[in-house]
């Protein structure tokens, strides 16, 4: 038990420090790397709670894919953070006010509003089954039976976002010659090669 | 307290057991990596009608040790324009991610350090981390060749991870579990029960994606020597380069091990009766890994390098739709034809 406690405080401390360094680091690439470290330690915290599926998904999706693209973009951009920091003090009151409002709203939501009132009953009903199966199977069961339509709806939202991103970046350029692999494979000997008998001294 | 109780109950004993298990996996793995480089060079030698390494020791068998000693004794050069901490961190990340993934690989029935419920996801997560070593190396070197290599590698590894993910989904649909030991146990009873037969196209896609994930020919664009000097590790020397090299080979062995667990029945013998069952499971597992590694080397000796747009086309326009359709087919088969 003591090892779990030590591990929790270690991971939590590293998460908080690296989360702070994300906004404090001078170099944007270092910021992204600290963000990755924060993701990692959050995954470790999930593991300590026994939510191994969510921990792995966090690493696969955020560390393995999203953060790679972040890093990719940030490395290519030439951002000068010192310049961005110029107006820091000027905007500090507004930023603090927005943060405060958001924090107050979150607190209100947490205190007054019950998220998905049916969920409590469903979770309680599944407690017996949870003891027998792994939590991956349990998540699957709840997600695909009780919340199937919400799951599908979120899938459609993602699909729309994806199509939107493709439409925004798609452009047709004239005069670009593309390789058509199908055409290349469909070529036959007859249309590709002609054998010519060249008379000596005559040329073609 | 008896010795048995000390090792199973006391925290110090448990810790010692874990350290011993880690060493029992890591040391043979490092020896395997060293001799994989030797086997690689011998196989290319045979393909190109050469002898390969044959000077140091009998049949050149001590060549990997000589290479290792050379890398250790050389000077580690850090370019003055490099970001020092990240420059040194990058090869470590590559090497460590290649090693920690072995924690969940089952070598035989019960021979696994951590028999976790989400083993297949853990493997997938760790293998997707390898890209960070490459990107950080390219960026921290502050060199255009290294940076181009890193960008190529990042795009390539992210692209092929997607199809590997779908391949893993088909396997776990068939096995009905995310636990690697369970997946192997589902393939018990002879070669005809191994998943490479029903999922043959997925096995091929998995193997080709593994070539792309480990930056091997025909997908070795991140380090293509004709264009980028040595790609992302252009600026590395001595043991820092050595760690990249070891990590790369350890990754190849890891992905071969993954292929053996998911498609070739892990520790099971090919035929479930006598002379074959006498051989211990760990030997069968090693033989299957060796078979896949041979195909890795064989491919490198045989095929030319892809062009970058062809690589992207293969990943996104061929493998992704195909594996997506195959996931649907497998899911339909598991649901309706097998009567679950």
Residue A53, in any domain of the structure? yes
Q: Estimate to the nearest angstrom the gap between the alpha carbon of B104 and the chain centroid.
A: 13
Residue A200, in any domain of the structure? no
Residue A147, in any domain of the structure? yes
- Per the structure block, which two tokens stand in for B255? 């992905």
Q: Estimate to the nearest angstrom the gap between the alpha carbon of A153 and the chain centroid.
A: 19
**A residues 10..69 contacting B (CB < 8 A):** 29, 33, 36, 52-53, 56-57, 59-60, 63-65, 68-69
Percent of chain B residues past pLDDT 90, beyond the cut: 6
Nearest to B121 among A56, A71, A181 (CB): A56
How many domains are contained in chain A? 2
Residue A120, in any domain of the structure? no
Residue A6, in any domain of the structure? yes
Predicted confidence at residue A97, as pLDDT, reads 92
Inspect the interface and report whether the beta carbons of A52 and B118 lie closer than 8 Å. Answer: yes
pLDDT tens per residue, range B126-153: 888 888 888 888 888 888 888 888 888 8
**Domain coverage including residue A68:** 1-80
Whether A72 and A4 share a structural domain? yes
Residue A173, in any domain of the structure? no
Comparing CA positions, the residue from B134, B114, B110, B132 lying closest to residue B122 is: B114
Count the neighbouring beta carbons within 10 Å of the beta carbon of residue B254. 26
Q: What contacts 24+ positions apart, CB below 8 Å, involve B37-43? A: B37/B64, B37/B67, B37/B245, B37/B249, B38/B63, B38/B64, B39/B293, B39/B294, B39/B297, B40/B297, B40/B300, B43/B294, B43/B297, B43/B298, B43/B301
Whether A5 and A68 share a structural domain? yes
pTM equals: 0.83
Inspect the interface and report whether the beta carbons of B129 and A64 lie closer than 8 Å. Answer: yes
Whether A133 and A73 share a structural domain? no
Give the CATH number of the domain where residue A13 resides.
Answer: 1.20.120.1200
Inspect the interface and report whether the beta carbons of A60 and B135 lie closer than 8 Å. Answer: no
- Its ipTM equals 0.81
Residue B124 has pLDDT above 80, yes or no: yes
Residue A112 has pLDDT above 70, yes or no: no
- B144 and chain A: CB distance < 8 Å anywhere? no
Residue A114, in any domain of the structure? no
- Per the structure block, which two tokens stand in for B323? 């594996």
From CA B264, how far away is CA B203, in angstroms rounded? Answer: 10
pLDDT tens per residue, range A22-35: 888 878 888 888 99
Inspect the interface and report whether the beta carbons of B155 and A72 lie closer than 8 Å. Answer: yes
pLDDT tens per residue, range B256-274: 999 998 888 888 888 877 7
Angle (CA) A70-A76-A82 rounded to 5° is 90
Predicted confidence at residue A161, as pLDDT, reads 94
Residue A111, in any domain of the structure? no
Percent of chain A residues past pLDDT 70, beyond the cut: 85
Q: Estimate to the nearest angstrom the gap between the alpha carbon of B277 and the chain centroid.
A: 27
Inspect the interface and report whether the beta carbons of A56 and B122 lie closer than 8 Å. Answer: yes
């Amino acid at each position: 038990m003591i090892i779990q406690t030590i591990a929790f405080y270690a991971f939590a401390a590293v998460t908080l420090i690296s989360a702070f360094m994300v906004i404090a680091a001078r170099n944007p690439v270092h910021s992204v790397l600290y963000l990755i470290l924060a993701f990692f330690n959050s995954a470790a915290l999930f593991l300590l709670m026994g939510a191994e599926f969510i921990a792995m998904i966090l690493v696969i999706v955020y560390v393995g894919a999203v953060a790679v693209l972040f890093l990719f973009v940030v490395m290519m951009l030439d951002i000068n953070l010192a310049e961005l920091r110029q107006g820091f003090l000027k905007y500090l009151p507004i930023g603090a006010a927005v943060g405060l409002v958001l924090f107050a709203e979150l607190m209100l939501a947490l205190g007054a509003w019950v998220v998905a009132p049916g969920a409590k009953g469903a979770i309680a009903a599944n407690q017996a089954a949870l003891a027998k199966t792994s939590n991956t199977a349990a998540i699957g069961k709840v997600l695909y039976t009780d919340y199937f339509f919400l799951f599908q709806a979120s899938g459609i939202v993602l699909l729309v976002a994806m199509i939107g991103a493709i439409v925004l970046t798609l452009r047709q350029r004239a005069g670009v010659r593309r390789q058509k692999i199908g055409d290349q494979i469909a070529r036959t000997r007859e249309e590709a090669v002609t054998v010519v008998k060249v008379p000596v001294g005559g040329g073609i | 307290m008896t010795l048995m109780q000390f090792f199973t109950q006391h925290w110090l004993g448990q810790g010692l057991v874990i350290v011993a298990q880690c060493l029992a996996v890591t040391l043979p793995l490092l020896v395997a990596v060293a001799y994989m480089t030797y086997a690689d060079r011998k196989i290319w030698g045979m393909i190109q009608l050469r002898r390969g390494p044959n000077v140091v020791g009998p049949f050149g068998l001590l060549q990997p040790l000589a290479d290792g000693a050379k890398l250790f004794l050389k000077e580690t050069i850090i370019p003055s324009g490099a970001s020092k901490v990240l420059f040194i961190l990058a090869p470590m990340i590559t090497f460590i991610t290649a090693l920690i993934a072995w924690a969940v690989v089952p070598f035989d029935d019960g021979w696994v350090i951590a028999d976790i419920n989400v083993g297949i996801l853990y493997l997938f997560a760790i293998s997707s981390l390898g890209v960070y070593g490459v990107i950080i190396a390219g960026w921290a070197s502050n060199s255009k060749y290294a940076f181009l290599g890193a960008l190529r590698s990042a795009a390539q590894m992210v692209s092929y991870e997607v199809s590997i993910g779908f391949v893993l989904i088909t396997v776990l649909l068939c096995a009905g579990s995310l636990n690697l030991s369970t997946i192997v146990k589902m393939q018990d009873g002879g070669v005809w029960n191994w998943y490479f037969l029903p999922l043959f196209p997925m096995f091929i896609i998995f193997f080709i994606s593994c070539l792309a994930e480990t930056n091997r020919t025909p997908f070795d664009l991140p380090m293509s020597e004709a264009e980028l000097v040595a790609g992302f590790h252009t600026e590395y020397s001595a043991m820092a380069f050595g760690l990249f090299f070891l990590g790369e080979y350890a990754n190849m062995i890891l992905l071969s091990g993954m292929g053996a667990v998911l498609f070739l029945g892990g520790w099971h013998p090919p035929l479930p009766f006598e002379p074959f069952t006498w051989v211990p499971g760990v030997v069968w597992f090693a033989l299957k890994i060796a078979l896949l590694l041979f195909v890795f080397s064989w491919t490198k000796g045989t095929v030319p390098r892809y062009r970058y747009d062809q690589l992207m086309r293969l990943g996104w326009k061929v493998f992704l739709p195909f594996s997506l359709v195959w996931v649907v087919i497998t899911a339909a088969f598991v649901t309706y034809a097998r009567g679950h």
